[in-house]
Amino acid sequence: MKTKKMTAVVAMLWWAVMLGGVAMPLARGSSIDQSPQAVEKWFEELPHAKEKLTKLHFYLHDNITAQNPTAIQVAQANITSKSPTMFGATFALEDPLTLGPDPSSKIIGYAQGIYSSVSKEETSLILILNLVFTHGKFEGSTLSLLGIDPILHQYRELPILGGTGVFRLARGIATAQTYTFNATTLNAIVEYHVLVIHY
């Protein structure tokens, strides 16, 4: 029993360290006051705020078979390997977002989240993503994306349902287009055009 408790404490400490380590670099560059008082003030001033339209353009790099993968499979069902669409396969990801299509191009943030294969008929993923911006004008702000990505379609329209920081109460549309897809490695580079309305 004692060992179990110890393990739990160690695990909690580990998480605290991990979360602290992850959250700090994001908070450091953010010029936005994210205290509850500041958020409340922001809402009180909202009736006077003007709506803005922001356009974002970047490339998402999804490497599932590389030496240092950006997406890893965390679950599947017993029929997944027999399914032509890998129905049920679930991945956790932290895909870099870059300004240009080259993987060595400047990283402006990461898509952190989960995707799962959710169709038996065509290869279609449900994307549950946070677009976390780490550099540039939107450093410290995030956008929440939730939608269906039928990856073989030329254009995939994905709703942006909200955000944080400069993107508080954001709403919009992301359009995904495959830039490169390697059928052997299953690695992909996806071009994103994002239009968001925020304040």
Ligand X SMILES: *[C@@H]1O[C@H](CO)[C@@H](O)[C@H](O)[C@H]1NC(C)=O
The sign one gets for the Cα dihedral 25, 31, 36, 37 is positive
Number of residues that bind ligand X (CB under 6 A): 13
Nearer to ligand X, 97 or 158 (CB): 97
Residues 78-97 that bind ligand X (CB under 6 A): 78-79, 96
- Alpha carbons 29 and 27: distance in angstroms, whole number: 6
- Alpha carbons 149 and 124: distance in angstroms, whole number: 5
Q: For ligand X, which residue of 58, 59, 60, 63 counts as binding (CB under 6 A)?
A: 63
- CB of 179 vs ligand X, minimal distance in Å: 12
Is residue 72 a contact residue for ligand X (CB under 6 A)?
A: no
Is residue 70 a contact residue for ligand X (CB under 6 A)?
A: yes
Is residue 185 a contact residue for ligand X (CB under 6 A)?
A: yes
Q: How far is CA 193 from CA 111, 161, 199, in A?
A: 14, 15, 19
The sign one gets for the Cα dihedral 93, 68, 186, 104 is positive
Q: Three-state SS across 17-74?
A: HHHHHHHHHHHHHCCCCCCHHHHHHHHHCHHHCCCEEEEEEEEEEECCCCCCCCEEEE
Q: Which stretch binds ligand X (CB under 6 A): 11-19, 39-47, 63-71, 111-119?
A: 63-71
Binding map of ligand X across residues 102-141, x = CB under 6 A, - = no contact: -x--------------------------------------
Q: For ligand X, which residue of 58, 59, 60, 61 counts as binding (CB under 6 A)?
A: 61
Is residue 164 a contact residue for ligand X (CB under 6 A)?
A: no
- Alpha carbons 58 and 99: distance in angstroms, whole number: 5
Q: Which residues bind ligand X (CB under 6 A)?
A: 61, 63, 66, 68, 70, 78-79, 96, 103, 182, 184-185, 187
